[in-house]
Amino acid sequence: MDTRLLQTFTALARTGSFTGAAAELQLAQSTVTVQIRALENTLRTRLFDRLARGAMLTEAGRRLLTLAEEVLEAESRLFAAATEDGPVSGTVVVGAGETLCSAHLPGVIAALRRLHPDVEVHLQACSTATAVEGLRAGRLDCALLLEEQADYPDVTAERITSQPLVLLCAPEHPLAGREQPTTWQELARENFFLHEEGCSYSDWLAQRLQAVAGAQPRLTRFGGIEATRACVTAGLGLTVLPHANVAESLRDGRLTAVPGPSLPDVPVYLARHRRRRPSRAARAVAAQVVRHFHA
C-alpha cells in the first residue's frame, strides 16, 4: 500500500475538510478526493461520510485511524534508522511564543550552527493553541509552551525550566523606587500594557487585577511585546514580562522593577507529538534547547 494514501487519510481526519487537507498537504483538492477514494477501494470500506459541513469519519474510519497513524509512525522509524550514521542534518520547524522566540531561541540556533551546521531550524512565533495544533497536524516538529500546565491530547510535554516574571514601569513613573511594596488594590487603579489574549502570564495578571474589589484597571493588549515595552518605557503605564525579555532594559535603566506583590514563575514545556518519532535533527534541536535553559 502507498503510505501517501494513509497520510492523506489522517490529514482529512484531522481537518474534517477536503479543502483543509489539500492545503495542509499542498495538494490539489481533486488529488485528495482521488486518494481517499483509492484507499477506500483498497480497504473495501467507506472511511468518510461526505456532508455539507465537511468530511466525517465513519465508524470504520474511526477504527482504522489509530492503525493508520501507527503505520506512518513505523515508516518514520524505518527511515530514521536508515540515517542514524553520519552527520546530523535536516530541517526542524519549532513553534514558540514571541517571548521565548526573541529571548532564547536565537542562542539555541547559534549553538546548533556550531555543533550541527547541516541542521536548519525554522522558527514560527505562535500561540499555544496554534503550536499544539501544528504538532498534531505535523507542521511543527516541536514547540516551546509558556504555560502553567500543558496537558493536551496527542502531545507530550516535558517541563524543562521556568521563567521569572517582573512587574515593570519607567524610572519616572510614580510607582518607581517606592520603599513600600505596591498592593494589588493600588495596581488595580493603574494603566497596564499587556501581551495579547492567550498569553498565559498576561491573562493571569489581567484576571488578578480584575478580581480586586472595585477594580478599574485600564488594560491595553498588543500582539507583540515590543509595542508593550515601548509604551511602558514611555511612562504610559505598567506591564509584566519575563525577566529574560527585559534584562537589557533593566540594566541600562530604560525600565525599572516595581516593588509589589510576588509573581509566580511561568513553566516552560518542550512539547512534541506523542506518537511521532523525532528525526535525528529534531532530537539535536530538543537537546540543545534543554542545554540552553540548564546552562
DSSP secondary structure string for all residues of 78-135: HHHHHT-SS---EEEEEEE-HHHHHHTHHHHHHHHHHH-TTEEEEEEE--HHHHHHHH
- Mean pLDDT of the region 221-249: 93
At residue 289's C-alpha, the angle toward residues 285 and 204, to 5°, is 130
pLDDT > 70 in the chain, percent: 98
Average confidence (pLDDT) over 279-291: 93
Q: What pLDDT score does 85 carry?
A: 62
> How far apart (Å, rounded) are the C-alpha atoms in residues 143 and 125?
10
Confidence of residue 1 (pLDDT cuts 50, 70, 90): confident
Region label for 198, one of left (φ > 0), alpha (ψ between -120 and 50) or beta (otherwise): left
- State the greatest distance between any 2 C-alpha atoms of the chain, in Å, as a whole number: 76
Q: Does domain 3-82 have CATH number 3.40.50.970?
A: no
Q: For residues 40 and 8, what is the distance between their CA atoms, to the nearest angstrom?
A: 12
pLDDT digits (tens, 9 = 90+) for 263-272: 999 999 999 9
Q: Note the pLDDT of residue 84.
A: 62
CB 190 within 8 A of CB 175: yes
> Looking at the predicted structure, is the pLDDT value of residue 54 above 80?
yes
Q: Tell me the CATH number for domain 92-162+267-294.
A: 3.40.190.10
CA distance 234 to 219: 16
For residue 288, how many C-alpha atoms fall within 13 Å in the half-sphere facing its CB? Answer: 24
Neighbouring-strand partners of residue 256:
169
User: Is it the case that residue 82 has pLDDT exceeding 70?
Assistant: no
- Poorest-confidence range of 28-32, 134-138, 156-160? 134-138
Please say whether the structural domain 165-264 has been given the CATH code 3.40.190.10: yes
Tell me the average pLDDT across 106-119.
93
Average pLDDT, the chain: 91
Domain ranges, ordered by start, for the chain? 3-82, 92-162+267-294, 165-264
What is d(CA 154, CA 272) in angstroms, rounded to the nearest whole number? 9
Q: Do 92-162+267-294 and 165-264 have matching folds?
A: yes
Residue 74 in contact with residue 3, Cβ under 8 Å? Answer: no
With cell 534584562, the residue in question is 247
Distance in angstroms (rounded) separating the CA atoms of residues 36 and 8: 7
Residue 86 pLDDT level (bands cut at 50, 70, 90) = low
